Structure 1
Amino acid sequence: MNETQTLPDTRPLFRSALAQIAPLVDALTSTDLDRPTPCSEWTVRDLLSHLVAVEDRIVHIAGGGKPFEVPSIVEGIADTDWSDAWRTRVAPLQDALADDALLGREWVHPAGVMPGFQAIAIYASELAVHAWDLARAVGRDSELNQEIAAAVVGPMTGALPAEPRGAEIGIPFGQVVPVADDAPAYARLVGWVGRDPEWTPQS
């Protein structure tokens, strides 16, 4: 049996997390771009700059590159071009993940060196959280797929300790926001990574 067949294939989850972002970006208007987001100090425009950079970074890492060789923010995208910027990167990203062998290949992820299937799962979690950030900022979070959050919240709570946290120690997450055990999956996910599930642009 090929070794990659014994490894978890985390790409379907990643693709689902990726797919729910495009409709959110497509629906944005120019007046949305300066709205605050649950990401401290980031506007919608800033968040989009990061999301597009994440697409570029994954392609680079999947090809054997190191994460910090690619900026975490993409500069110079016009306010009218965010949808195109996101969508034109989707096909190259899907192509970069097409090879089954990359599931077992060593990736240099910002969190450390790990097998590809694990890095892909972490990126699925990041996209799931940022989809909520974006959707919440523009009042569209009811459109998010709770099944995606349900699939990543367990691994996230297992991999990300409740403490210590803080960018100064290399764990760039806020303190856990407690939520009920029976809360919707997205509330449990964003609470664990330090977002307030009740956040609104007026908070």
Structure 2
Amino acid sequence: MTAVQDARPQYQAALDQLEKLFATVTPADLDRPTPCTEFTLRGLLNHVVGGVHRFAYMGEGGHAEDTVAAIEDPSDEGWPAALGRARARVTAAWADDAKLGRPTVAPWGEVPGAMAVGGYLMELVTHSGDIARSLDNGFALDDDLARTALGIAEFVLPAERRVPGVPFAAVRPVAEDADVHTRLAAWTGRTV
């Protein structure tokens, strides 16, 4: 992912996918475990929606460390609406092309806005996979989005840089013929 690439269209496509995925969640699903062992599904949905708001805040000129990637939980049926509000905010916050070259303070440091978009694209696609695995309802994830996210992950999270403080576990082994979603999950430290 270079600073000159504009991943906003892919980020919007990842939000499309996430909205469809959120629409499959029922209140009975919210206490399910997830590949992110620190979160139940409810906690992961909260983290994801909060992350979209944090990314919007960054696009509005704020520093990531000034806000948490969490929201006040909506009603059990309110997750799609909560994501919709976050999506509207992040879309508006990153609409100006000039923001792609502007220094942006992300959780991992100051980077050009375009790199922040790429990082949040990777996070959104990765967590969409986590949610789909938790639900285990046959939801078909987008292969192209996963390939893009894996390319970003391999660039920004090389296996040898998994040190304490990096919020990703060591790369997990996968079969050579593993699908792209499994490879992305393994690269980001999920048990596959």
- Please give the range of the TM-score, normalised by the shorter of the 2 chains: over 0.9
Deviation of 1:141 (Å): 5.5
1:49-198 equivalent positions in 2, closer than 5 A: 49-140=46-137, 142-165=139-162, 169-197=164-192
The aligned length equals 190
Which whole-Å CA distance do the structure 1 matches of 2:149 and 2:49 have between them?
A: 21
Show structure 1 runs of 5+ residues with no match: 1-5, 198-203
Larger CA deviation: 73-82 vs 58-67 = 73-82
Which whole-Å CA distance do the structure 2 matches of 1:152 and 1:22 have between them?
A: 18
Which whole-Å CA distance do the structure 1 matches of 2:4 and 2:20 have between them?
A: 31
TM-score (norm 1): 0.88
Check 1:28–1:189 CA distance in 2 against 1; reply closer, same or farther (3 A cut). Answer: same
In the alignment, what sits opposite 1:3? Answer: none
Code of the residue aligned with 2:187 in structure 1: it is: W
Check 1:99–1:187 CA distance in 2 against 1; reply closer, same or farther (3 A cut). Answer: same
Which whole-Å CA distance do the structure 2 matches of 1:141 and 1:71 have between them?
A: 31
Which whole-Å CA distance do the structure 2 matches of 1:105 and 1:41 have between them?
A: 33
Report the secondary structure of 1:121's partner residue: helix
In the alignment, what sits opposite 1:12? Answer: 9
Report the secondary structure of 2:151's partner residue: helix
Which whole-Å CA distance do the structure 2 matches of 1:23 and 1:56 have between them?
A: 19
Output one character per residue of 1:116-169: Cα deviation in whole Å (capped at 9) or x when no partner: 111100100000000001011011455100111111212211221213535xx3
Which whole-Å CA distance do the structure 1 matches of 2:174 and 2:59 have between them?
A: 35
Decide whether the 8 Å contact of 1:56 with 1:70 is kept in 2.
Answer: no
Output one character per residue of 1:53-93: Cα deviation in whole Å (capped at 9) or x when no partner: 01110111011101122112212422121111111221221
Report the secondary structure of 1:143's partner residue: coil
Decide whether the 8 Å contact of 1:174 with 1:193 is kept in 2.
Answer: yes
Which whole-Å CA distance do the structure 1 matches of 2:64 and 2:51 have between them?
A: 10
Which whole-Å CA distance do the structure 1 matches of 2:127 and 2:95 have between them?
A: 23
Which whole-Å CA distance do the structure 1 matches of 2:181 and 2:154 have between them?
A: 13
Decide whether the 8 Å contact of 1:18 with 1:124 is kept in 2.
Answer: no
Extract structure 1 runs of 4+ deviating beyond 4 A.
none
Show structure 2 runs of 5+ residues with no match: none
Cα root mean square deviation, aligned: 1.6
Output one character per residue of 1:6-28: Cα deviation in whole Å (capped at 9) or x when no partner: 92111111111121111111121
In the alignment, what sits opposite 2:25? Answer: 28
Which whole-Å CA distance do the structure 2 matches of 1:7 and 1:164 have between them?
A: 24
